[in-house]
Amino acid sequence: MSVRKNLSNSVEAPPIDLHGLVRELFPINRSITGAGVRKTLAILARHSQLEIREVPSGTAVLDWEVPLEWNIRSATIRSLDGRCLVNFADNNLHVVGYSKPIHKEVSRAELAQHVHTLPDQPELIPYRTGYFADDWGFCMTDNLWQAMQDESYRIDIDSDLSPGSLTYGELFLPGELSDEVLITAHICHPSLANDNLSGIAVALALALRQAQRERRLSYRFLFIPATIGAITWLAHNESRLDRVCHGLVLTCVGDRGRFHYKKSRSGASIDGAMAHVLHHSGHPHEIMAFNPYGYDERQFCSPAFDLPMGCLMRSVHGTFPEYHTSADNPDFVRPEALDQSYAVVATLLDLLDANRTYVRTDGRGEPQLGRRGLYRAIAGQKEAGGASQMELLWVLNLADGKHSLLEMADRADIPFRRLQKAARLALDAELIKEVGGLRSYRPPQLVPNRRKPRHCP
């Protein structure tokens, strides 16, 4: 019989106000480098023992190079009679990311080559970047642009591109084992609440949660600029990537959409774990095949690394009308959606940490449960949500050294936590014992001199 239970109800409330953190971070202008990233990380560091790392401009990282640092102080478009029509101070989406400084009078025709709007969404400001374009640009509502019919305008962008560094945050929580769960969120977008800040908020809350718990596995949380940040971290940590057993990219986890989980490139065990959690969560969801477009999973899953990294979203990037527009604001992100996302991933982390493989101490026939007091134990736990006889029988039958608890739970279509309780009863009665499980990730042969991976619990 299929058993369903909303696992979100089994997880405690987040340790911080997720929506409050999104609102606090929203006004800050961020890019792949610069003061806004440092300010954001400093706020996160007030809540946690986050280590902030700086990598100098010009540093070679795989096939890339850490770019010049970009900072911006102000930007405006004014009519020649002095009226301010566009002001970066009003909305930091108004300026194309990495715009170079410019101060001059331009014709409307020339300005048109540097203006970005959304004709199909005329009241919204788009988000655009030009990290390596050596150019400048403005973003505005199409309604405003169509109303700007003067022959010339005065444009000013007070910014600079200069040697500096790429900044990212890292928090490592050691466990009993050196095998790691890697959680990442990108930190390079300006005022975009769902695509950026929701993942940051949920990742920080999870880090605070795991810091207060006993941990079998180790946990590493990264707050990094997209693409170049992931590439930089990978380049500096290549020698220890074999420790990563499970990984997850968090983004767009604050809207009302159904959950979407994008699987890892090679079908890692986290894919099955997340599918199990979502299946029993009570929330609408969809499991998506891997594809090489999206967020930083495409860097972590590049062929020479092929890390066991999936990506969790609610609405998928590029599919909702608020995506990369001024409509992706704190009102679009819902407190209850953030809390649900936190609960789903917290349940996943509990599963990963608790997953074990067992073998019967004597697998010949069904053991006598009555004389071991297991029937009384089962009856006594019914009201407390404990294990049932059927769950115990599943554990005793599949404890053959080949099935992990997660595999048992999937085979029986029973929530992992209930199989875990049944396993504890059987373990206490000395009917089963733990055995080692095979590591879920084996580095490919494309990377030379990679250490042979250890077994993953």
Render pLDDT for 132-170 as a digit per residue (tens, 0 to 9): 999 999 999 999 999 999 999 999 999 999 999 999 999
Residues annotated within the binding site are: 189, 195, 324
Q: Do 330 and 193 touch, CB atoms closer than 8 A?
A: yes
- Please state, for a pLDDT cut of 90, what percent of the chain lies above it: 86
Confidence of residue 84 (pLDDT cuts 50, 70, 90): very high
Give the 3-state DSSP-derived string for 25-38, with helices as H, strands as E and coil as C: HCCCCCCCCCHHHH
Provide the residue type at 354 as one letter: A
What share of the chain in percent tops pLDDT 70? 91
Annotated binding residues for Zn(2+), written as ranges, equal: 189, 195, 324
pTM of the model: 0.92
Write phi, then psi, for 142 (nearest 5 degrees).
-65, -30
Q: Model confidence at 367, in pLDDT bands (50, 70, 90)?
A: confident
The pLDDT of residue 378 is 65
| pLDDT band with cut points at 50, 70 and 90 for residue 451 | very low
Given this model, what pLDDT does residue 376 score?
A: 62
Q: For the chain, which domains are there?
A: 7-66+166-354 (3.40.630.10), 69-162 (3.50.30.90), 357-435 (1.10.10.10)
Mean predicted confidence (pLDDT) in 394-411: 95
Backbone angles phi, psi at 98, to 5 degrees: 75, 25
Q: How confident is the model at residue 379 (pLDDT cuts 50, 70, 90)?
A: low
Convert the pLDDT of each residue in 289-308 to its tens digit: 999 999 999 999 999 999 99
Q: How does residue 126 score in pLDDT terms, banded at 50, 70 and 90? A: very high
What DSSP element (H or E) covers 354?
A: helix 335-354
pLDDT averaged over every residue in the chain: 91
